[in-house]
Amino acid sequence: MTQIYVNLPVQSLDRSIEFYTRLGYAFDPRFTDENGTCMIVGENIFVMLLTVPFFQTFTSKMVCDASRSTEVIICISAESHAAVDSLLDKAVAAGAREPREAKDHGFMYERCYEDPDGHIWEVIHMQAEEQADA
């Protein structure tokens, strides 16, 4: 089965672990040390939170400062409209910034937050196709 590992540079690993723990995520201790950690997002979805110096060892390019530039927007799904709101409320309470208002497209509801490093996370709920057609 295919897995996805998103690698994100973070300024403070401890701050990032604390932030994402407050959102309800767990971490794989096998992939955790002073350089990074593996955050478990779903059955086959993982985010490697890596300190900037360690992240830099994987590329010869300059590492983007996500608080000033955007290289990627990470989008995850939620099981319901209420689950989107619940996760965003937790994120904001944990110190995230919500850069724009929620959007309800009828078939899809979305909100987004910026984590403490400025990485943008969209959280969406899409209605099942049969519900959207009704």
Specify the pTM.
0.87
User: At the topology level of CATH, where does 4-133 sit?
Assistant: 2,3-Dihydroxybiphenyl 1,2-Dioxygenase; domain 1 (3.10.180)
Q: Are 21 and 32 in contact (CB under 8 A)?
A: no
What number of CA atoms fall less than 13 Å from residue 86's CA on the CB side?
10
pLDDT digits (tens, 9 = 90+) for 29-51: 999 999 999 999 999 999 999 99
Task: Give the model confidence (pLDDT) of 63-112 as tens digits.
Answer: 999 999 998 999 999 999 999 999 999 999 999 999 999 999 999 999 99
How far apart, in whole angstroms, are the C-alpha atoms of residue 102 and residue 34?
36
* pLDDT above 90 for 121: yes
Rg for the chain, CA atoms, rounded: 16
Q: Residue 133 pLDDT > 60, yes or no?
A: no
